[in-house]
């Protein structure tokens, strides 16, 4: 099997509003899949059902070949890195403590933890002295890199990114994209990336899932989708996103 | 020293407690001297309110269960009540009479526990009924108008029957009648030949200024001017200022209490109430029926030993000559031959020793209360913060506790837990709950939802989320709540002296009774110091455990 994540007839509602109705979608192992779509298309909801932050109302999500383990969600989630828009760094912890929190909870030795933090921060281009600072003392771009480092600490098998690179200037973003690509070369992992930025998707992802109003319009390799939009809708969406 | 002490006292207590009107009515309104501020009608309403509140607590509303739990925890603190416990209210005359009884009993070989300075008639009476004290000096008029619901006249069968039905007993009156009076300067009396109130009728030119309450009360100016047909008009003036105005010659007649020591100091003459208009306020030992007959017999020896004039002198010796209650009481007893010429039975303690003792007691009261409130409050907040309805319920309950005026809450503790440190600690504990619970719940439910989602999504278990994310983020507000609780507790604990708990409130209460600012400051300054120390202590804790950028105490720049 090459599908590490499977949505099988998944439905999700928020109150009276149906976001997904019997959605089927596979995400392949080892690839970087970008979920693109306008805001409100449900892409972030989809992502949060992968690690069980949101629970489907119908159908099921299978990850690593089985449904989400209900009683052991914490252990399951540690196999899945998670980074979000606005970084979600804990303001009361210094950068090294933010990155290393899960390692500490896993009982890693101080030395092992320190080595891993150095490794990750170097890959993401963060100066060593930054690790003793608090999140609010870093720039937005630096905070985003820290968010990626934290998500990658335990060498997860899946990395979920919820618009992690939004809100910074284009130059900074380009640099972060490069650093991220470098990290992915050093430590390959299945990535699911939510973004509304088509350029970012094309740059980082190999697969593209185009969502609109809770429906999958097209799911295929990036190049194929770009060259041959399946529907008028996809073509229009592309125009809008670009 | 300002004249008209007792009346000013009650005002000061009010300002000090800053409690709503109800509290004043409940606890401070019905003492003798300056505490006679209420009409009988209003008093009985206050009494009913107090009874209802007490009933509420008895029925388990307002956290009686929590209080009970704490009582169990604090049980060992409760003192055994082997000795005879003598109580008093918070004005000089009450202290002196109580001290006289205490020394007489000691001279007869009884061990005596002095619990002086209860906050007003209701608290003192409640303490007696609850068996927390065995005896205290009360006044016939106060009993008639404030304590007994029948309002029967002192000396009547109905009066005796109601006292008996309450499980109490009145002993022989001391002799003094501390009633209202009208007074003029000695020189004025001599010049115009004034001896009785009736004599005033012939001098319409005399200027009347009476204290505000007297001006309004039916047994004050309206009643007396009608009864005697006085032609003059009157206006309300603050009691102390009235004495000043008399001395300056701006005022000719004002109201006073018959045993006011200041009358001696200023050479004021009391005009005889020749029509017997004013009700009697005979002082007497009010005791529990169960008191041993031989003890009652000893106290009955004091019957008729104190005239108004002698009481006035004793009051003056305390409030003007600055002698101690023990000293004045001992001298009186020796002079009447009631005790042998023994040395002062009580060793006088030094200022420093008193200060240290009071501070230790104060710290104990507040320390135990706030620590218990912290454990229970934070625990409660953690238990309920995930459920909005539960959180709201807990906040309402703790908020309700906070609305009970502190002096009333202390009074309500007496029927449940007696007097002393245990009820004081429980009351302070209940008061400390709200700031701690409210701040902790608010902090926990306002943690940034994104951070909550990330903490859960990255794989922290529920307890790890609480320990590593939610609690640290809530800590600044939690500490702020603790800090508020501690400071409020230290302030409120000064009121605990009103229910015999001691602490830094003791010199304050005694100082108020004597209008002795130095004594008041001996309690107030250390209490303020403690509050400041608590502030600084919590700031240090915050510095140690909270990153600078998250400190709640840091003011916005």
| Contact residues on chain A for B461, CB-CB shorter than 8 A | 74
Q: For residue A238, give Cα distances in angstroms to A23, A35, A47.
A: 22, 13, 21
User: Per DSSP, what are the bridge partners of residue A66?
Assistant: A63
The overall average pLDDT reported for chain B is 82
DSSP B130: T
- The helix, strand and coil proportions of chain A, stated in percent and rounded to the nearest 5, come to 40, 25, 30
Minimum mean pLDDT range among A25-34, A209-218, B33-42:
B33-42
Distance of residue A21 Cα from the nearest chain B Cα, in angstroms: 24
B304 confidence band (pLDDT: 50, 70, 90):
very high
Convert the pLDDT of each residue in B79-124 to its tens digit: 344 799 999 988 889 999 999 999 999 999 999 989 888 877 888 8
Do A90 and B461 make contact, defined as CB atoms within 8 angstroms? no
Q: How far apart are CA A148 and CA A157, in angstroms?
A: 14
Q: Is the pLDDT of residue B242 over 90?
A: no
Q: Which helix (H) or strand (E) holds A59?
A: strand A58-63
> Taking an 8 Å Cβ-Cβ cutoff, which residues of chain B contact chain A?
450-451, 453-461, 464, 468-469, 472-473, 475, 546-547, 549-550
Q: How far apart are CA B322 and CA B513, in angstroms?
A: 12
Preferred mutation among B451, B452, B456, B458 to probe A, highest tally of A CBs within 10 A: B458
Preferred mutation among A68, A85, A90 to probe B, highest tally of B CBs within 10 A: A90
Do B459 and A76 make contact, defined as CB atoms within 8 angstroms? yes
Query: What would you report as the CA-atom Rg of chain B, rounded to the nearest whole angstrom?
Result: 27
- Closest residue in A to B465 (Cα) is A74
The two beta strands, A3-14 and A58-63, are antiparallel
Convert the pLDDT of each residue in A217-242 to its tens digit: 889 998 888 888 888 878 887 777 66
Shortest CB distance from A78 goes to which of B454, B459, B472? Answer: B459
Do A84 and B453 make contact, defined as CB atoms within 8 angstroms? yes
| Residues above pLDDT 70, as percent of chain B | 83
Distance of residue B428 Cα from the nearest chain A Cα, in angstroms: 33
| Contact residues on chain A for B463, CB-CB shorter than 8 A | none
Do A92 and B458 make contact, defined as CB atoms within 8 angstroms? no
DSSP structure string for B345-382: SSPPPPHHHHHHHHHHHHHHHHHHHHHHHHHHHHHHHH
Q: Is the pLDDT of residue B317 over 50?
A: yes
pTM of the model: 0.70
> Residue B91, SS3?
coil
| Residues above pLDDT 90, as percent of chain A | 60
Mean local confidence (pLDDT), B168-182: 93
pLDDT of residue B554: 59
Mean local confidence (pLDDT), B242-256: 89
Shortest CB distance from B464 goes to which of A86, A90, A105? Answer: A105
Do B459 and A48 make contact, defined as CB atoms within 8 angstroms? no
Nearest C-alpha neighbor of A41 from the set A212, A241, A238: A212
Do A91 and B458 make contact, defined as CB atoms within 8 angstroms? no
| Contact residues on chain B for A136, CB-CB shorter than 8 A | 549
Convert the pLDDT of each residue in B388-412 to its tens digit: 899 999 989 988 888 888 888 888 8
Q: How far apart are CA A214 and CA A195, in angstroms?
A: 15
Convert the pLDDT of each residue in A111-133 to its tens digit: 999 999 999 999 999 999 999 99
Please report the number of interchain residue pairs, chain A to chain B, with beta-carbon separation below 8 angstroms: 65
pLDDT of residue B347: 53
The overall average pLDDT reported for chain A is 90
Mean local confidence (pLDDT), A157-162: 94
According to DSSP H, which parts of B166-238 are helical?
186-192, 212-216, 221-228
Q: Are B138 and B284 in contact (CB under 8 A)?
A: yes
Three-class HEC string of B436-470: HHHHHHHHHHCCCHHHHHHHHHCCCCHHHHHHHHH
Q: Are B440 and B377 in contact (CB under 8 A)?
A: yes
- Closest residue in A to B454 (Cα) is A88
Distance of residue B547 Cα from the nearest chain A Cα, in angstroms: 6
Do A77 and B458 make contact, defined as CB atoms within 8 angstroms? yes
Q: Is the pLDDT of residue B159 over 50?
A: yes
The number of angstroms, rounded, from the C-alpha of B480 to the middle of its chain's C-alpha atoms is 30
Distance separating the N- and C-terminal Cα atoms of chain B: 47
Do A84 and B549 make contact, defined as CB atoms within 8 angstroms? no
């Amino acid at each position: 099997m090459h599908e590490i994540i499977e949505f099988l007839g998944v439905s999700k509602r928020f109150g009276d509003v149906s976001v997904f109705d019997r959605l089927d979608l596979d995400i392949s192992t080892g690839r970087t899949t970008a979920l693109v779509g306008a805001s409100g298309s449900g892409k972030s909801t989809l992502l949060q059902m992968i690690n069980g932050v949101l629970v489907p109302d119908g159908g099921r999500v299978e990850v690593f070949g089985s449904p989400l383990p209900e009683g052991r969600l914490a252990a399951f989630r540690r196999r899945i890195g998670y980074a979000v828009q606005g970084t979600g760094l804990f303001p009361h912890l210094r950068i090294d403590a933010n990155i290393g929190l899960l390692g500490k909870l896993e009982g890693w030795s101080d030395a092992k933890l320190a080595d891993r933090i150095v490794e990750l921060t170097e890959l993401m281009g963060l100066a060593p002295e930054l690790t003793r600072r608090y999140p609010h003392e870093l720039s937005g771009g630096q905070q985003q890199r820290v968010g990626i480092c934290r998500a990658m600490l335990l060498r997860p098998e899946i990395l979920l990114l919820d618009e992690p690179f939004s809100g910074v200037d284009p130059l900074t973003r380009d640099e972060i994209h490069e650093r991220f690509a470098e990290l992915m070369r050093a430590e390959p992992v299945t990535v699911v990336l939510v973004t509304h930025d088509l350029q970012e998707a094309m740059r980082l992802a190999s697969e593209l899932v185009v969502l609109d109003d809770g429906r999958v319009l097209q799911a295929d390799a990036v190049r194929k989708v770009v060259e041959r939009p399946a529907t008028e809708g996809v073509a229009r969406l592309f125009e809008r996103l670009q | 020293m300002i004249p008209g002490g007792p009346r000013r006292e009650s005002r000061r207590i009010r300002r000090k407690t800053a409690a709503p009107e109800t509290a004043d009515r409940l606890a401070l309104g019905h003492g003798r001297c300056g505490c006679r501020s209420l009409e009988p009608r209003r008093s009985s309403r206050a009494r009913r309110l107090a009874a209802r509140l007490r009933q509420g607590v008895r029925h388990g509303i307002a956290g009686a269960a929590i209080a009970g739990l704490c009582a169990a925890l604090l049980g060992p603190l409760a003192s055994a009540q082997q000795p005879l416990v003598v109580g008093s209210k918070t004005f000089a005359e009450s202290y002196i009479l109580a001290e006289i009884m205490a020394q007489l009993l000691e001279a007869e070989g009884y061990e005596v526990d002095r619990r002086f300075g209860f906050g007003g008639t209701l608290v003192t009476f409640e303490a007696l009924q609850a068996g927390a004290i065995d005896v205290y000096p009360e006044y016939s008029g106060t009993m008639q108008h404030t304590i007994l619901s029948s309002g029967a006249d002192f000396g009547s069968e109905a009066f005796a029957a109601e006292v008996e039905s309450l499980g109490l007993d009145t002993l022989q009156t001391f002799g003094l009648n501390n009633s209202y009076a009208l007074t003029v300067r000695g020189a004025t009396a001599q010049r115009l030949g004034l001896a009785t109130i009736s004599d005033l009728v012939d001098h319409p030119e005399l200027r009347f200024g009476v204290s505000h309450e007297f001006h309004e009360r039916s047994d004050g100016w309206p009643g007396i001017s009608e009864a005697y047909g006085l032609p003059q008009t009157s206006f309300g003036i603050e009691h102390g200022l009235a004495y000043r105005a008399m001395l300056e010659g701006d005022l000719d007649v004002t109201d006073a209490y018959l045993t006011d020591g200041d009358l001696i100091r200023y050479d004021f003459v009391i005009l005889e109430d020749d029509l017997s208009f004013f009700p009697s306020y005979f002082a007497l030992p009010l005791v529990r029926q169960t008191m041993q007959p031989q003890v009652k017999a000893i106290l009955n020896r004091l019957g008729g030993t104190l005239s108004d004039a002698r009481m006035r002198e004793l009051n003056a010796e305390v409030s003007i000559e600055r002698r101690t209650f023990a000293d004045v009481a001992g001298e009186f007893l020796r002079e009447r031959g009631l005790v042998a010429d023994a040395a002062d039975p009580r060793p006088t303690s030094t200022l420093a020793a008193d200060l240290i003792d009071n501070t230790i007691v104060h710290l104990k009261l507040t320390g135990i209360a706030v620590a218990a409130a912290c454990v229970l409050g934070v625990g409660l907040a953690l238990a309920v913060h995930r459920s909005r309805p539960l959180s709201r319920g807990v906040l309402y309950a703790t908020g309700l506790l906070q609305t009970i005026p502190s002096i009333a809450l202390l009074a309500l503790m007496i029927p449940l837990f007696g007097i002393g440190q245990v009820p004081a600690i429980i009351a302070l504990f209940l008061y400390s709950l709200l700031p701690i619970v409210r701040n902790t719940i608010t902090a926990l439910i306002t943690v940034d939802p994104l951070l909550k989602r990330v903490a859960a999504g990255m794989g922290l278990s529920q307890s790890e989320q609480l320990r590593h994310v939610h609690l640290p983020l809530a800590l600044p507000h939690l500490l702020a709540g603790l800090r508020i609780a501690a400071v409020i507790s230290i302030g409120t604990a000064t009121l605990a002296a009103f229910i015999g708990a001691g602490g830094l409130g003791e010199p304050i209460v005694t100082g108020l009774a004597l209008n002795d600012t130095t004594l008041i400051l001996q309690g107030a300054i250390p209490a303020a110091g403690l509050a400041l120390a608590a502030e600084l202590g919590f700031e240090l804790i915050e510095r140690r455990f909270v990153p600078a950028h998250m400190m709640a105490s840091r003011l916005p720049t």
